Structure 1
Amino acid sequence: MWGEFGVASSSAVLTAAPKRDCSRECMTNIVTEILQSMESNNPYNLPLAQEYRATENSHPAALGMMTLWRTVTKASPPNLLAIHMTTGSAYFALDIIEGNAQKQSVLWARIKVIHQQITELELYINRSRGDHGFSFSPEELPTNYARWMSPPPNRQIANRTELESLSAATFNPSYNFLVTIASNCQFTEEGWSVIDPGPDGNGSCTPLGCSWPAVRPTDMNARLNLGVDGVMGIVVTGAVVQGKVYPYGKISAFIPDIMTTSQEEQDEWLRVKKEEGARGLLAPSNVTGETLQVLQYYDAQLQGQQVMLYLSGPDMKSVWVD
């Protein structure tokens, strides 16, 4: 499990963002249009720019060639929506249904809008834990994400400099930004409040909280400030993390390479299981995790932490990084 990151600094009044031609309501409406177009299996009525960039699970493609516009049958309003008015960007996440499936999937995405036209769409669909190696629950996602959209009205709002510093520190442990974690900070992976039972089922029964360890996944080329919603205190940062998928009991888990102690413990667990004659153990494999880390910060504390991640082959790079 990765589940570890968190913030502190002085509170301040949010600095005013430059006025843009697409208001917060306009951005919300465009996100709604995207989801409705998926439901109707028709991407061609969207307000696309003359030239746009788009990926689905890290693969570049025209919207008309993407799986989402072929399979989605139900996409309700986003359970989480963060709007960055300065850059015209939005991040959203929700549970969706594809075809006649009874099981839900998790959709998370980032868009950019210029002159009320969509110039970028970065879309991810996670259908099972195997897509990311973390905890997974689209069924619990709406309830868990509800608190993000209803912060206390009397909160101390962070200023833009604080939120941008938080983004810079997310995947750079050397960045000088002090982090304090609220006692009730909510930590989730792909919609679920994480409970780590351990590979032998004798681990914790208590949900993991947020954390900000000195040793954490690092990407010096991380994409900063993909979403900085000063109203909600939400910041989104994109990174590429190398790691391994390990057997984890009867399932599997993703462990970043920088977490050497965790990988060594899993290597030892695997060695013991093989000596005991256990069968059906997944062979460890190198992978790349493309992630958008979502944090919520107000009252000079980290209030929420989401790890949204999609796995690809080893040594991959994001097409969003030039």
Structure 2
Amino acid sequence: MRLPGPFSMLRLSLGLAVAVSVMGGASQQAPSAAALVGRSASNTSNSDCSRECMTTIVTQILDSIVAHDPRTLPMATVYRATENSHPAALGMMTLWRTVTKAGPPSLLAIDTTIGTAHFALDISEGNDATESVLRGRVKVVDQQITELELFINRYRGDHGFSFSAAELPTNYKALMSPPANRTKASRATLEALSEALFATSSNFSVSIGDDCQFTEIGWKVVDPGTYGNGSTDPLGCSWPSGHPTDTNARVGLVIDEELGFVVTSGIVPGKVYPYGPYGNLSAFIPNTLSAPQEVQEAYFEEMKALGTVPLLSPTGATGDTLEVLQYYNDELQAMQINVYLSGPNMTSPWL
């Protein structure tokens, strides 16, 4: 049996934030819905938009982007919006200028209790041969858009991990069609899962499904190894003790009780290191994962001494994440690590 290398452990750890044992089902010691709602200003009670209504609004957003006309959207008198973590009016966002093909979403999580949705899909910019990944979160009040948080990942350097716009539809299709006879998790359980994700401590325990899908920006994750000695087999999900944490994590952004999706956001400081046997790859490693960082520091010094390949200098960065988990049958069924990188010491405009 091949033991996971340091970067494999990094991938299994990123985005998880609770030291728990992989055993049993969900702990019954879940925080109340009221307590979780208090952690995020976005989570205001709103039940005037059904799943069909929320789906229609997401479709309107995508149609508006392709038409290069944000004026078609049902925007609130005052709204909040960001593109790749920076605030801007919709008419000044790059997406409304460059996207030529989009939709329907390959993944759509809908929370009718608080009127939010998360969506992800492959898109084209400029010409149909150019593929990127668009993902976002929308909040609706009185059937008007009050919040729109958008990210566009064009390639691996945007987030420091694996990427495939082409494989995203196939990989996410399975998540949108869970077994009809599944046991759905309660809202309280899903909220507790969201609360645990970036927590410094939690007694919420998680059992991993046999076919739990682990993806980063559309691609099932593999670990090629620092020296090219890894594997091409996809890695499975894990809920490890080593993890990034964020005491200001935005929890319960979307809780989809029908499909079992949970969306949580955390800000993760770290460094981007050179990676791979030819020095032409890089990887983002959170500062909380000191052991993998030390491995990459040693690799950097070794390769620098050889002087055979150009190396990216290790550089500070911040990962703005929208983590997506799927949970039913008392087990974790899917884990998506969605990251967008910015400079060091950055934070979220949504805090």
Q: Over aligned residues, Cα RMSD in angstroms? A: 1.6
* Gaps in structure 2 of 5+ consecutive residues: 1-6, 17-21, 34-44
Q: Which position in structure 1 is the counterpart of 2:313?
A: 283
TM-score by length of 1: 0.95
Q: Secondary structure at the match of 2:169?
A: helix
Deviation at 1:101, TM superposition (A): 5.2
Distance in 2 (CA, whole Å) between partners of 1:19 and 1:66 is 27
Following TM superposition, by how much is the alpha carbon of 1:268 offset from its aligned partner in structure 2, in angstroms?
Answer: 0.7
The whole-number CA distance in structure 2 between the counterparts of 1:188 and 1:254 is 16
How far apart, in 2, do the equivalents of 1:190 and 1:176 lie?
Answer: 29
Matching residue of 2:296: 266
Question: Are residues 1:107 and 2:134 paired?
Answer: yes
Q: CA separation in 2, counterparts of 1:151 and 1:160?
A: 17
**2:201 is the counterpart of 1:184:** no
Aligned position for 1:89 = 116
Contact 1:3 1:210 in 2 (8 A): no
Q: Is the 8 A contact 2:111 2:256 kept in 1?
A: yes
> Quick check: 1:80 aligned with 2:104?
no
| Number of equivalent positions | 316
TM-score, normalized by length of structure 2? 0.87
User: What is the alpha-carbon distance in structure 1 between the residues aligned to residue 337 and residue 97 of structure 2?
Assistant: 27
Structure 1: distance between partners of 2:47 and 2:304: 60
* Contact 2:101–2:128, Cα closer than 8 Å, also in 1: no
- Counterpart pick for 2:12 among 4, 16, 20: 4
Counterparts of 2:210 and 2:176, CA distance in 1:
19
Query: Which one is further off, 168-177 or 37-46?
Result: 168-177
Aligned 8 A contact 1:54 1:63 in 2: yes
1:144-293 → structure 2 map (5 Å cutoff): 144-249=171-276, 250-293=280-323
Pairing 1:22-41 to 2, within 5 Å after superposition: 22-41=49-68
Shift of 1:200: 2.0
- What does residue 327 of structure 2 align with? 297
> Is 1:66 the counterpart of 2:74 in the alignment?
no
Cα separation, 2, equivalents of 1:64 and 1:107: 17
Counterpart of 1:137 in structure 2 is 164
- Of stretches 214-223 and 170-179 in structure 1, the one that deviates more from structure 2 is 170-179
The 2-side partners of 1:101 and 1:74 are apart by 7
Following superposition, the deviation at residue 199 of structure 1 comes to 2.6
- Alpha-carbon distance, 1:201 to partner: 1.4
